[in-house]
Amino acid sequence: MTAVSTPDKASALPERSAARAASPLHAAGKGAEASAIAVDISGLSLTFQTADTPVTALDNVSLQIRRGEFVSFIGPSGCGKTTLMRVIADLAQPTSGHITVNGVTPEQARLKRAYGYVFQAPALYAWRNVVRNVLLPLEIIGMPAAERKARAAKYLSMVGLSGFERKFPWQLSGGMQQRVSIARALAFEPELLLMDEPFGALDEITRDHLNEQLLQLWHQTGKTVVFVTHSISEAPLN
């Protein structure tokens, strides 16, 4: 994937691009311009070494994402969208180039729990009900019981799942399962939300409905959102 972006506009090869929506929140004051950058990528490349020949997944990518923006990575399967998101999340290491996430390295951002990750599949534990799936990462980080219960209730309500706390994943539709996944990612209140084709396996009607809900969540929370999709029709909604 080859893309070049500035804080004001993004340009790329026709089939591989970044689309963005303006932030509902704006930084102000001395030093706001520098602190307003959530993700700063410069000249980043990643090459996978294989048995026969190296595979270049990312080639000289430069991109800035401002705090509070909703940015979509658009392109066909295999162009490097998810790879770039994995680099931001410190799940893959670049071969060359420079990247900071909220002003620190991706590793430091990960250790600070600065981002939440929503996968293509909901990745819910079948033996834990809805609320216990949302509570899981809060339990792992040792958050006090009263606070984590309040967090779970808040974000389940925000995604429209109040009343479904005791249901199990197999009792929910695909769209509802993905909403549980989003609530779980938001529950520890990260500064950055990474979403890797989260609605790709859903039918078009459900996908459109969840896109609308996601935009409402974005406006409510002011989070920085990076959204991967191969659907041109889906990205302009964001």
Q: 32 falls in which pLDDT band (50, 70, 90)?
A: very low
- Enumerate the H helices of the chain as residue ranges: 32-35, 81-88, 106-111, 130-140, 145-158, 174-187, 204-221
Buried b (16+ CB within 10 A) or exposed e, 114-140: bbbbbeeebebeeeebbbbbbbbbbee
pTM value is 0.80
Q: What are phi and psi of 146, to 5 degrees?
A: -65, -40
pLDDT at 219: 87
Q: What's the confidence (pLDDT) of residue 29? A: 37
Confidence of residue 33 (pLDDT cuts 50, 70, 90): low
pLDDT given at position 66: 94
Q: Tell me, what's the pLDDT at 210?
A: 80
**How is the chain split into domains, by residue range?**
1-111+230-234
Predicted confidence at residue 93, as pLDDT, reads 95
- Starting at the edge strand found earlier in the chain, the sheet holding 17-21 runs 17-21, 70-74, 224-229, 192-196, 115-118
Looking at residue 24, its pLDDT comes to: 46
Q: Which two tokens stand for residue 187?
A: 């529950």
pLDDT of residue 236: 54
**With pLDDT > 70 as the criterion, what percentage of the chain qualifies?**
83
Please provide residue 226's backbone torsions phi and psi, each rounded to the nearest 5 degrees: -115, 120
Residue-wise pLDDT for 219-231, tens only, equals 888 889 999 988 7
- pLDDT number for residue 97: 96
Written as one letter, the residue type at 57 is: A
> What are the structure tokens assigned to 193, written together?
């939300």
pLDDT confidence band for 148 (50 / 70 / 90): very high
The owner of tokens 């929910």 is: 172
User: Using an 8 Å Cβ cutoff, are 5 and 18 in contact?
Assistant: yes
The residue that leads in pLDDT, 217 or 35, is 217
Of 33-37, 59-63, 104-108, 161-165, minimum mean pLDDT range: 33-37
1-111+230-234, what's its fold?
A: Rossmann fold (3.40.50)
